[in-house]
Structure 1
Amino acid sequence: MSTHSSVIDFHAHFVPDFYRDAAVKAGYGNPDGMAGFPHWSVDEALAMMDRCGVAVAVASVSSPGVHFGDDAAARHLARGVNEFSATVRDEHPDRFAFLASLPLPDVEGALAEIDHAYDVLHADGVTLKTNARGLYLGDPAMEPVLDALDQRRALVVLHPTSPPGWEAVSRGWGRPMIEFPFDTTRAVADLLLRGGLIRRPGIRMVVPHGGGALAAFADRIDEFTRIFAVADGPDVAGQLRNLYYDLAGFPVPRQLPSLLAMADPSHLLYGTDWPWTPEPVIAAATSGIQASPLLDQDQVTAMMTTNGLPLLDRFGADESASSDPAA
């Protein structure tokens, strides 16, 4: 691991020019209601990591993903961003881990891309959007994809995206503000209620942005499994404790207390969401977490460094942090 520090950023993004151009051409110039795509380059990413004390960025392509309505184009774009990401990782193996993009909802294309990503590109994991053009993780159509990821004991890092029908519910606001956390909650709850992870213990899943609203609704969801007589009565609370949660965004002062009532501190991970989140905002959010009385210094250090090592096979679970997280 890099000597720059021991901090692992589990929520970072690649935004290569060819991907941005493809999204804009397909009509996604204002992704999820935002003003546009942020500027990004490998050199800028490394410079930001050095300034923020980040050793390793676990990076992916963010929302809106790679599927803009055409299966063949999505397969081509997924292959392109994955090969680009693998090249960046190979050129800086101690600084980047890469999460492969899949051309969902094209399941056949996704299965082929999983094989290519792991067997040829040696991906560190995959990223799944909370829904792929309306296809949610718990949908029966997703079963082959989840089975393939389970067989590979895959690291699966979720990322929110706009929900179906966002035009009616977002009320003109950028969807990352409210719709992203709720789509995360919707996707994970549906997956757990349908037994999607209990049947696939090999999948190691990271939920973004402190789990969205999951902590606030965990007991409600658990109780409704009995009201609705959900088959086999899944232990939703127990399943939620087994997931990992990155703290990208704004978890303090109000979200973190409820998250800690649901998840063990050993399952919290650091995340910046750069370059979609500006560096000054990242610095302020990081300082807020570090100053929170809800986590002691050892827990903060572990959250920023060692908690995620069991998820990164290439770096080895036996590595330990040797320096304090950057302020």
Structure 2
Amino acid sequence: MMSTLSKSLKGLDVLTLKEFTEEDILFLIQQALTLKAKHEQGEIITTLRGKTLALIFDKPSTRTRVSFEAGMMQLGGNAMYLSGRDLQLGRGEPISDTAKVLSQYVDAIMIRTFEHSKLEQLAEHASIPVINGLTDDHHPCQVLADLMTVMECKGDLKGNKMVYIGDGNNMAHSLLIGSAIVGMDCTVICPKGYEPKKEIILEAETLAHVSGANLKVSHDLTDVSGADIIYTDVWASMGQEEEATLRLQAFKHYQVNDEIVGMAKPDYIFMHCLPAHREEEVTATVIDGPNSVVFQQAGNRLHAQKALLQALLA
């Protein structure tokens, strides 16, 4: 796979994936695969020596925190973990002030927070790259790793049909946008009342007109038919705990189980951004079965984020 950047990514903010062209994403995937191979061979890389990444977490995390910290260290740089309790933001300091101060100390900021507007304000006032580690509306770094995993498993992105089953949440949003950019078909199947945001569907459809991707939002589980990739996520995300009982009822017919995956192609792959609740959104027979690539997918977060950091900072 050969690809070149359509523009320089140095200094870019990464908020939604819409910052990238198809060529940019293919370039990042190529770089991630190269970095993964070099890591497995034990090669030491120091492209980010002397660089520091600030990691701001308003939400707890396993994969996002560890992959970004380890990724910076593997590239010769440093990562600094900052919880909401560690910052004056928690005591009322304006986001604009925090952004300007951190811009004096570090080379980039990754933030995992709730409101997408908070991320946008941080990016507006920072003079260094700001990376979305997850907001209520988008999860772009996860989808970079997801597309890398599809490339590894299927050899290409175009020509595949991804079916996401579950809540029309940040994962559904970023999968629609990422698929639309790279020309991969994507269907989101969800209960009525839990669809992706209309404005994000429209943004993805605009991108799909350029790439040729077929996008669909559906309530019909038979749309799983012919899927190359089946993807799901938890039914109640962080911040939605009070809705858990209601959501269990609303989503009970949307569990990914043997009957559902039986409608996909025999060589389908199963994906989940984790953490997973076995026997809720997915059965153990599927997530622990031979078609599941969830731990390969989780591992690819490390290398996809290394490729992104290198492109933004090196």
**TM-score normalised by the chain length of structure 2:** 0.31
**TM-score normalised by the chain length of structure 1:** 0.30
